[in-house]
Chain A
Amino acid sequence: DAKTTQPPSMDCAEGRAANLPCNHSTISGNEYVYWYRQIHSQGPQYIIHGLKNNETNEMASLIITEDRKSSTLILPHATLRDTAVYYCIVRVFNDYKLSFGAGTTVTVRA
Chain B
Amino acid sequence: SAVISQKPSRDICQRGTSLTIQCQVDSQVTMMFWYRQQPGQSLTLIATANQGSEATYESGFVIDKFPISRPNLTFSTLTVSNMSPEDSSIYLCSVEDLKYEQYFGPGTRLTVT
Contacts and interface: CB of A to CB of B under 8 A. Distances in A.
Interface residues of B, number: 21
Contacts of B48: 96
Given A46-B1, A102-B42, A94 B100 contact: yes
A33 to B, nearest CB: 13
Interface string A26-64: 000000100000000111111001000000000000000
B104 A43 contact: yes
Contact of B102 (A42, A94, A96, A99): A96
B20 to A, nearest CB: 19
B100 A93 contact: yes
A3 to B, nearest CB: 13
Chain A interface size band reads 10 to 19
Nearest to A87: B42
Interface string A81-110: 000000100000110111111110000000
Interface of A: 32, 41-46, 49, 87, 93-94, 96-103
Interface of B: 1, 4, 31, 33, 42-45, 48, 92, 94, 96, 100-107, 109
Q: Which 10 A/B pairs are nearest by Cβ-Cβ distance? A: A43-B104, A100-B42, A100-B43, A44-B104, A46-B101, A43-B92, A43-B107, A43-B106, A43-B105, A96-B96
